[in-house]
A = this chain, B = another copy of it.
Amino acid sequence: MIVVMAQGATRFEIHEVCAKLVNLDFTCHVIEGVNQSVIGVIGNITDDLCEQAELWPKVEKALRVGKPYKLVSRECQPEGSVVKVGSVLIGKDKVVIAGPCAVETESQMLETAEAVKKAGANMLRGGAYKPRTSPYAFQGLKTKGLQILNEAGKAYDLPVVTEIVDPRDVEVVARYSDMLQIGARNMQNFSLLQEVGHTRKPILLKRGLSSTVQEWLMAAEYIMAEGNSQVVLCERGIRTFEPWTRNTLDISAIALAKETSHLPVLADPSHASGKRSLIKPLAKAALAAGADGLIIEVHPNPDEALSDGPQSLNFEEFASLMNHLNLGDKK
């Protein structure tokens, strides 16, 4: 930690700060600058200590050197993680997860599973618990939806991922799905993070729409700190001032997350843009920037989808996208 003393702090005041720190078993080195002095503090520093130190008399700032995350960092594990979901190896091969925003009917899911499998997708997605802005909007089929998703995945040999929104649902969601998704709105729902950290299911952790990359990594750290190291990150756009897109896909965040952590990183061009015409350019850009795969909304009939229609592709559009991306051998 570096403690920056205010201009005009006396030697006595500087040493009072040192005294507090030495009392807490830290080692201090004072550097007297031209206008201001700083104290280099050595020991096991926490964010809480930094916050406290900023309150002490004549302290202008206290800066933590080093990173608050450990388990997720590339220093901790130099080679990239591979997360196994069924036979899919996220972090090894480029992976595409496809399916509708919400599970609606059995036939919708079976048709979608067949179509996305044929087009080359590796996993199936579908929401049974939908976090909707309005209490009056469709909220998902819940357990019934999980069962439909599960069956559709089995029928076409596609591992399935679905969103979990309540710590009380971990058991039932884990029973029916191969991977649990934490949505953007729940990225800092720490109870939920801890609860999924207790399972041994792979977790797909979406970035919160106003979360920094560091907060996103700290959310992953929450899950890993509970013993579950099967975490996959997913960039899905952040909230900015630009009104022509629903969110702004932060391409740099993909590269930064890959650089600073060992976790696989996917991108979600559907939620990031909210517009069908942008899905192809964003999908290509995300892969070009190093993403380990994509999660794409696909619906048999987007015009009649119960949610997120405008950003869903139909089967033909999805097949065309997959052809275009040319991710290697199709099944």
Contact = CB atoms under 8 A, between A and B. Distances in A.
Interface of A: 2, 4, 7, 29, 31-36, 38, 40, 42-44, 46-48, 51-52, 54-56, 63, 65-66, 68-69, 75, 131-138, 165-168, 185-186, 188-191, 194, 209-210, 212-215, 218, 221-222, 225-226, 238-245, 248-256, 259, 272-273, 276-278, 281-282, 284-290, 302-310
B131 A188 contact: yes
Contact of A251 (B168, B185, B281): B281
Number of this chain's copies in the complex: 4
B222 A7 contact: no
9 contacts: A2-B38, A7-B75, A51-B308, A135-B218, A209-B210, A213-B242, A214-B244, A244-B252, A288-B288
B47 A134 contact: yes
Contact of A52 (B286, B290, B304): B304
Contacts of A212: 241-244
A123 B252 CA distance: 26
Of A44, A210, A305, most buried by chain B (CB within 10 Å of CB) is A210
Given A186-B189, A249-B252, A254-B281, 7 more contacts: A55-B302, A55-B310, A131-B188, A131-B190, A135-B190, A167-B167, A256-B278
A248 B244 contact: no
Contact of A34 (B44, B250, B285): B44
A52 B305 contact: yes
A241 B241 contact: yes
A226 B136 CA distance: 11
Nearest to A212: B242
Nearest to A245: B252
Contacts of A186: 189
A189 B189 contact: yes
A248 B243 contact: no
A288 B287 contact: yes
Nearest to A28: B31
A136 B289 CA distance: 32
A112 to B, nearest CB: 17
A256 B245 contact: yes
